[in-house]
Structure 1
Amino acid sequence: MKFGKAVARSWSVASVSRAPATFPFTFDQFIRKEDSKFQELKKEINNKLSFTSKPISQAQLSADPIQLPSEPSQDEARNLLYRLREEALSSIVLDGVGPISVKKVDDYSEMERMGSFTSAPVKASGDVQDADVEFSNITSLTDLLERCRHYTVHLPPPINREYTHLDNSFQHTPDTSDVKVDEKNKIRILQWNHLSQTLGTKNDNFVVCPPEALDWTSRRWRLLEEIIRYQPDVICLQEVDHFDFLNRGLKTIGYSGKFIPKPDSPCIYLQGNNGPDGCAIFVKDSKFKILSDSHRILEVWRVQSNQVAVCLELLDVETNQELVVATTHLKARQGALLSTLRNEQGKDLLDWLHTTARGRPVLLSGDFNAPESEPIYTSVCEHDIGLASTYRFKDLGMEEPYTTWKIRETGEQKYILDYIFHSKSGLKPVGVLEMPKDHEVGENKFPSLAFPSDHLSLVADFHYV
């Protein structure tokens, strides 16, 4: 999806009711007024971006949320989300014949059936592209790692990353990928937007990424290797569009998983897709018993959006502690309006999760598509559910903190977008896996032959307290 595209059009929201009399203009007039600011921001950013330019800082890309004159009505919110969906779909070229267009919908109940208001036929495929893979004779982690390395032997070795103990000394040690974590009181979580294969090859425009890095026949094994090499107890993933492969592979070494697709995934409009992308959580059976699972389509002003959250209520079989784990992937793209929508999605998620948790410790992770300067970050940390960010990037001494680093046709992008949040009461973070140092990344950034996604995996350890 092209950077800045969301701010390139005029927001002319048609046929909406007027705002309350206390405000001097209607909702659609307000959005049109805000559009002039978007146009200026777009021009400024486009002037700065080039393949050889220094990355724009997160502070430059962050925007204050739009202060709406009042909470919009459901019809107004539906109309706005409809226009955003039109923007997203218009950037997708279907089978090389041109961008998707969106029908005008007068009956908003039709819009709630996500995907039913596009003029292009939905081309959702089943999750069948990994039917050629057999996981026979896999009985241990060592067996599965050897299988992964067999299919990636022609690629560079995985990037070695440092592990930091979160004590007063912030001691840096080599990564613990080959060390078994068996302390009963410890929980290890891996958070990762592992990059949808369909979006990565058909829509994301990684202009300097070697094609071999996105070859699915080997990439799927590198994805699996990255997940299992850290031996996590909990695995939270976004942009999952090959759940069958991951589920069958992880099942052989004792994991159970839950997957929820986006209601109207952009993957299904792209040639050669393997079905919709979504969010997934896996847990180690020897560590946790799943008490309950649930999911939510995140709402913006009481209207369902196209983003989801997955939640598992767990019982730690070693300590008899209960734990709630959730993951999500919030709305993408930059701009003040999108920042506001992300914040609304996040608040809906937090309220739902707070009710679900009922005072139990919580781990919330995901791709929030927002730097720490955006309001959604503050909303998470100040909500009554009582969460804090696990990664203390400033204390890690990184040159310029990031969780995603890539080069698209619009330029180089290096941001913090991914997070692990934990309950301040009940859980104590004791260590995190760092991002690679700048000199270790390579000139093409990510994805690369050494790393299969444009987002880095986050790994954190916790103790119950």
Structure 2
Amino acid sequence: MNPARRCSALLNQLCVSSRGGPTARRPFSPAERSSSAGPRYSGVGGRGVGVKGTCPQGKLSGASIAGAALVCPMGGSSSSSSSSSSSSSRLFGTLSQSLNSSPLAQPDLYAEESPDQDLAEVDPDQLLRECEDVLQRRPARPHRDLVYPSGTAPCHHKHNPSIRIMQWNILAQALGEGKDGFIRCPLEALNWQERKYLILEEILTYRPDILCLQEVDHYYDTFQPIMASLGYHGSFLAKPWSPCLDVEQNNGPDGCALFFRRSRFSLQATAHLRLSAMMLPTNQVAIVQTLHCRVTGQRLCVAVTHLKARSGWERLRSAQGADLLQSLRSITSRGGGQSEAPSAVLPLVVCGDFNAEPSEDVYRRFSSSPLGLDSAYKLLSSDRQTEPAYTTWKIRPSGESCSTLDYIWYTHDALSVDCLLDIPTEEQIGPGRLPSYHYPSDHLSLLCDVSFRDEPHRLM
């Protein structure tokens, strides 16, 4: 099969949804919980000039946004234009044959690892063009620039190239359609048949070496086979009691996923954690992997997590963060299973939706940890000490929420941040906020390039 046909085949996999198809996972009912136009993006470059948006000081009341259409439960009626159907149907001819000849395994709901599917690798440029073709009727995603904190683009030795890391809560499909109530977002904009292309387009635009995702409820039928065909190794861990299972016609539980590019890294060790609070297990999880960089020969520990949501749960989030930090100290002090001196630095990156503003105790725990962690996105500010004004901006029946909840933490003595993806302005996000026709999630993706320091310091 030639590269173009392989890409069309792969796009077909994106259209096999929870509503049926050869690789769809069986929906789970709530009762089963106890039993188990031209280019759309103009590229990235130097720092752009413009005025950043500011968050509203107060929250909108439900009455102030009366008249907006309410999101109906998942599986409710939603229309899509015939032009969208015709543009995407051209892509749906080949991969189903490939998948039928090599069907995807249906692992246990809470299986910790799944093998990479034996699918031929595809050309990411061709796949991106096909995503753009499907999404022609949608407005382009917000333009975002790469920002270099030092003011100049770094010049890396060929033996120490940057590592691109993306952090993103992609919004679970069942929650977006069935529970979250984004009253300014039309139901059609949340249709999985197109929204998944927007998610993939964002990933393909930036081509991360490491990808950390939360709220993934289409791992086995979409993200795992797609990312495997793009050359990534994937790992997934579901929440023990996912709220997705409360939604009719769901696609199983949501959870965290971690992908890394196989050409850049090899896997040395994996830990799948169910986070505890005050000695009691909670519904939140984390994946921690120790990777070996094939270029530099150095090791890197990467973690992805998603802490408890909602106000009023600050103490629980703090306890979950303390539990995760304790596990990370244990994993990094063991050197990822290697027989090295305990004082050797194992560089660490922790990505996640912490559901916590910088004023919360869990943020202070991470910023003052003996692991020597710092938040990458503080480097966007003029004082290099202030987080962005927001990483999520949404409107629900209870009002408008504009918050900084997502972070990329890194070991500042062992890693340097070379560049970051800036935050879209209020004008770019639009009056309807997130998600929308032009952005697939209520959380913005975060992205930074990091590199190993030449002479990492020793942890005391």
Paired residues for 1:250-329 under 5 Å: 250-329=227-306
Instruction: Find the counterpart in structure 2 of residue 206 from structure 1.
Output: 182
* Residue identity in the other structure for 1:161: R
1:363 equivalenced with 2:349 (yes/no):
yes
1:410 equivalenced with 2:393 (yes/no):
no
* Residue identity in the other structure for 1:344: A
Q: How many Å separate the matches in 2 of 1:228 and 1:282?
A: 13
Instruction: List alignment gaps of at least 5 residues for structure 1.
Output: 1-46, 55-92, 97-124, 128-133, 174-180
Instruction: Find the counterpart in structure 1 of residue 54 from structure 2.
Output: none
2:412 pairs, out of 407, 424, 440, with 424
**Once the two structures are superposed, what CA deviation does each residue of 1:255-298 show, in whole Å capped at 9, x if it has no partner?**
11000000110111210100000001000111111111111000
Q: How many Å separate the matches in 2 of 1:48 and 1:207?
A: 14
Per the alignment, in what secondary structure is the counterpart of residue 256 of structure 1?
A: strand
1:376 equivalenced with 2:362 (yes/no):
yes
**Once the two structures are superposed, what CA deviation does each residue of 1:240-262 show, in whole Å capped at 9, x if it has no partner?**
00002011111112111000000
Distance 1:159 1:396, change over 3 A: farther
Identify the range of structure 1 (157-166 vs 414-423) with the bigger mean alpha-carbon deviation: 157-166
* Residue identity in the other structure for 1:248: P
Distance 1:159 1:95, change over 3 A: closer
Per the alignment, in what secondary structure is the counterpart of residue 224 of structure 1?
A: helix
Distance 1:319 1:349, change over 3 A: same
Paired residues for 1:149-228 under 5 Å: 149-167=132-150, 169=151, 184-228=160-204
* Residue identity in the other structure for 2:439: F
Per the alignment, in what secondary structure is the counterpart of residue 137 of structure 2?
A: coil
**Once the two structures are superposed, what CA deviation does each residue of 1:185-206 show, in whole Å capped at 9, x if it has no partner?**
3111000000000001000010
Instruction: Find the counterpart in structure 2 of residue 235 from structure 1.
Output: 211
Instruction: Tell me the CA shift for residue 182 of structure 1.
Output: 8.1
Instruction: Tell me the CA shift for residue 400 of structure 1.
Output: 6.9
Instruction: Find the counterpart in structure 2 of residue 435 from structure 1.
Output: 423
**Once the two structures are superposed, what CA deviation does each residue of 1:109-150 show, in whole Å capped at 9, x if it has no partner?**
xxxxxxxxxxxxxxxx979xxxxxx99886211122122222
Instruction: Tell me the CA shift for residue 221 of structure 1.
Output: 1.1
Paired residues for 1:394-409 under 5 Å: 394-395=381-382, 401-409=389-397
Q: Is the 8 A contact 2:59 2:401 kept in 1?
A: no
* Residue identity in the other structure for 1:442: G
* Residue identity in the other structure for 1:372: P
Per the alignment, in what secondary structure is the counterpart of residue 200 of structure 2?
A: helix
Q: How many Å separate the matches in 1 of 2:61 and 2:388?
A: 19
* Residue identity in the other structure for 1:226: E
Q: Is the 8 A contact 2:216 2:257 kept in 1?
A: yes
**Once the two structures are superposed, what CA deviation does each residue of 1:151-171 show, in whole Å capped at 9, x if it has no partner?**
21221122111221011x4x6
Instruction: Tell me the CA shift for residue 53 of structure 1.
Output: 7.1
Calculate the aligned-residue CA RMSD, in Å.
Answer: 3.0
Instruction: Find the counterpart in structure 2 of residue 334 from structure 1.
Output: 311
Q: How many Å separate the matches in 2 of 1:281 and 1:395?
A: 31
Instruction: Tell me the CA shift for residue 394 of structure 1.
Output: 3.3
Distance 1:287 1:95, change over 3 A: closer
Per the alignment, in what secondary structure is the counterpart of residue 307 of structure 1?
A: strand
Name the TM-score, length of structure 2 as normaliser.
0.68
Distance 1:228 1:258, change over 3 A: same
Distance 1:376 1:318, change over 3 A: same
**Once the two structures are superposed, what CA deviation does each residue of 1:66-105 show, in whole Å capped at 9, x if it has no partner?**
xxxxxxxxxxxxxxxxxxxxxxxxxxx9999xxxxxxxxx
Q: How many Å separate the matches in 2 of 1:408 and 1:189?
A: 30
Q: Is the 8 A contact 1:346 1:380 kept in 2?
A: yes
1:50 equivalenced with 2:55 (yes/no):
no
Instruction: Find the counterpart in structure 2 of residue 390 from structure 1.
Output: 376
* Residue identity in the other structure for 2:186: P
Distance 1:248 1:376, change over 3 A: same
Q: How many Å separate the matches in 2 of 1:301 and 1:330?
A: 15
**Once the two structures are superposed, what CA deviation does each residue of 1:393-433 show, in whole Å capped at 9, x if it has no partner?**
53389997100001101111100000000002210111110
Q: Is the 8 A contact 1:187 1:233 kept in 2?
A: yes
Instruction: Tell me the CA shift for residue 378 of structure 1.
Output: 0.5
Q: How many Å separate the matches in 2 of 1:182 and 1:203?
A: 48
Instruction: List alignment gaps of at least 5 residues for structure 2.
Output: 1-57, 66-72, 77-107, 111-116, 334-344, 454-460
Give aligned-pair identity as a percent. 39
Per the alignment, in what secondary structure is the counterpart of residue 382 of structure 2?
A: helix
Distance 1:351 1:53, change over 3 A: farther
* Residue identity in the other structure for 2:410: H
Instruction: Find the counterpart in structure 2 of residue 44 from structure 1.
Output: none
Q: Is the 8 A contact 1:237 1:281 kept in 2?
A: yes
Aligned length, in residue pairs: 337
Q: Is the 8 A contact 1:404 1:417 kept in 2?
A: yes
Per the alignment, in what secondary structure is the counterpart of residue 377 of structure 2?
A: coil
1:351 pairs, out of 322, 326, 333, with 326
Q: How many Å separate the matches in 1 of 2:353 and 2:272?
A: 16
Q: How many Å separate the matches in 2 of 1:317 and 1:372?
A: 35
Q: How many Å separate the matches in 2 of 1:183 and 1:165?
A: 21
Instruction: Tell me the CA shift for residue 341 of structure 1.
Output: 0.5
**Once the two structures are superposed, what CA deviation does each residue of 1:342-382 show, in whole Å capped at 9, x if it has no partner?**
00000000000111112400000100000000010010011
